[in-house]
Amino acid sequence: MDHFPTNWGRPRNDAFDAYATHPIHQRPYNGPKDTFADGVQRTQQPIVTGTSVLAIKYKDGVMMAADNLASYGSLARFKDVQRLHQVGNYTVIGAGGDMSDFQYIQYILEELSVEEISAQDGHELGPVEIHEYMSQVMYARRSKMNPLWNSLLIAGFKDGKRFLSFVDLLGTTYTASTLATGYGAYIAQPLLRKAVEGREDIITEEEARKILEDSMRVLFYRDARSLNKFQIATISSAGVSISDSMQLDTTWSFAEDIRGYGAQTQ
């Protein structure tokens, strides 16, 4: 008995599966076929990828950090990629995941911005609108079985309000006072929560920067797809500023004392 209703009444291909013994989820499709179906390709996996993006709320606004690496598998392929992108006057969008999909996102947001500017209606796109728009785009694309393979953080400051929210390739959204994507969601998020939660209105800009730098250092130690070269975006009442690339001091002397795995001889 075929318990899969969508297969009922469909012609069976006796040459291939005379007794319908194939597992249901592998049942061959014997209906009409689109001639060009093989020519349509969808993103099945990310190719050139960015790793974690971190963001926290602080006293004056929101701060976001991401490194400058775009990996090709495990190869550190591009080391000067900017993964923080300003949209309009109030918003920064940071991306992990497929970098070509992120470039496409930058393009559609540019198109959206110009459309809004030329309307000249006195309204400006803020972080809330951009997050809503991106969540709709991401969900629409996943529903077409053709997702944009990214995790996005959207941070902004408009009309005296901080904004920080997340969207991913499934169209899932959530918001919190600390957010991290990718490997950072496991390694950095607990550190960020410990440092920030309950203190969002106390943390100064210097403190916030230190929290992010410390988390980026931990990520560089632990995440094999990360780079010791990153940028920090600050979004506050003063507007958006994305820093130049910077480096962190790291110490590796402990490595020679590690025993139990690796290449040591004793």
Catalytic sites, residue numbers: 43
Measured N-to-C along each axis, helices 205-222 and 189-196 cross at an angle, to the nearest 10 degrees, of 160
Q: Closest distance between other proteins and the C-beta of residue 37, in Å?
A: 26
Which sign does the torsion angle of CA 182, 186, 191, 195 carry?
positive
Listing DSSP states for 219-251 in one string gives HHHH-TT--S-EEEEEEETTEEEEPPPB-----
Expressed in angstroms, the distance from the first to the final Cα of the chain is 62
Q: Assess contact for 87 and 240: CB atoms under 8 A.
A: no
Nearer to other proteins (CB atom), residue 38 or residue 121: 121
Q: Closest distance between other proteins and the C-beta of residue 111, in Å?
A: 6
Residue choice 20, 24, 117, 170 for contact with other proteins (CB under 8 A): 117
232: its two tokens: 């920090």
Q: Closest distance between other proteins and the C-beta of residue 113, in Å?
A: 8
Nearer to other proteins (CB atom), residue 114 or residue 202: 114
Nearer to other proteins (CB atom), residue 89 or residue 236: 89
Nearer to other proteins (CB atom), residue 117 or residue 248: 117
2 in contact with other proteins (CB under 8 A) = no
The β-bridge relationship of strands 173-175 and 48-50 is unpaired
Interacting positions 119-148 with other proteins (CB under 8 A) = 120
Alpha carbon of 252 to those of 13, 47, 72: distances in Å?
63, 30, 25
Q: Is 12 left (phi over 0), alpha (psi -120 to 50) or beta?
A: beta
Nearer to other proteins (CB atom), residue 117 or residue 140: 117
114 in contact with other proteins (CB under 8 A) = yes
Interacting positions 73-112 with other proteins (CB under 8 A) = 107, 110-111
Size of residue set near other proteins by CB under 8 A: 9
Distance CA 95, CA 82 (A): 9
Binding part of the chain for other proteins, among 116-124, 128-136, 142-150, 200-208 by CB under 8 A, reads 116-124
Question: How many residues in the chain?
Answer: 266
Residue choice 21, 35, 44, 118 for contact with other proteins (CB under 8 A): 118
Q: Closest distance between other proteins and the C-beta of residue 137, in Å?
A: 16
Q: Under the rule (CB under 8 A), what is the footprint of other proteins?
A: 107, 110-111, 113-115, 117-118, 120
